Amino acid sequence: MAQQTISVTPIAGALGAELSGVDLSRPLSDAAIGEIRAALLGHHVIFFRDQHLTPEQHLAFGHRFGELQVHEFVEGLADNEEILEVRKEADETLNFGGGWHTDVSYLERPALGSVLYAHAVPEYGGDTMFANQHLAYETLSDGMKAMLDGMTAVHSARRPYGTNAVRAMYAGPSSMRFNFTAAAHEEVEHPVIRTHVETGRKSLYVNRTFTLRFKDMTEAESAPLLDYLCDHAVRPEFTCRFRWQANSIAFWDNRCVQHNAINDYHGQRRVMHRVTIEGERPV
């Protein structure tokens, strides 16, 4: 039987495409994985509807793209720590992943990407936005590009996971378990302008959640330029917005995409499973 061709339908001008004609619960050929990888590289975030995966099938799909990461500060499922359950119950007010960010940029080897699978979604709200960081770089002035190309930024997990993190002081209910430790205060350096190892395209690589300052500068000195870049990175024309349905999947290229889980569904329940793929050190 001939393999069914995967259909790719863009959802916005900046990035994002919906893929159909593929069942991710089944073993996929190398050719099918190649088509999915090409769609990811071309559109930076890809979406699948009406998928029905067991945890084992979810993990198996993620493994086709690399080794999987275990989150250092957020506890995964009890029977498989490689799956992070992103949960917000109806009585909770804080969500996970709210605010624009690039996943785990505080690591020496940040994630290549994440595969997020919707188990339960609110009747309305809870969308996720994505922003194309290639466009963020390419639309900067030549003078700004020249200056940033030689700069290094300092990243850390201290704001969300440090000993004085806002969530650490939060007394309300939380169905997710976090580890707020001194280890989150460690720092790592990455280039402000990152070159994608598979496409060769440059992208802006700073974000509000994890980027503290520029190397050899204080946070106060860094703030004006860093604030400008973080605002510029998520201009509306660089973004797409995904409305979740149960059994939908989003797979984003964390090397050139920021995302923001919108926290606009208080009083409703949202449960997702995330598998995160190991990346390389940014260059």
What whole-number distance in Å separates Cα of residue 68 and Cα of residue 111? 9
One of 259, 269, 270, 273 is an active-site residue; which one? 259
One of 44, 58, 71, 101 is an active-site residue; which one? 101
Tokens of 42: 């071309």
One of 44, 58, 87, 103 is an active-site residue; which one? 103
One of 155, 208, 273, 274 is an active-site residue; which one? 274
23 is catalytic: no
Question: Do 126 and 206 form a contact (C-beta atoms < 8 A)?
Answer: no
- 3-state SS, residue 20: strand
Question: Do 204 and 229 form a contact (C-beta atoms < 8 A)?
Answer: yes
Q: Is 216 exposed, middle or buried (0-12, 13-18, 19+ CB in 10 A)?
A: exposed
What whole-number distance in Å separates Cα of residue 226 and Cα of residue 24? 39
216 is catalytic: no
Report the catalytic residues. Answer: 101, 103, 259, 274
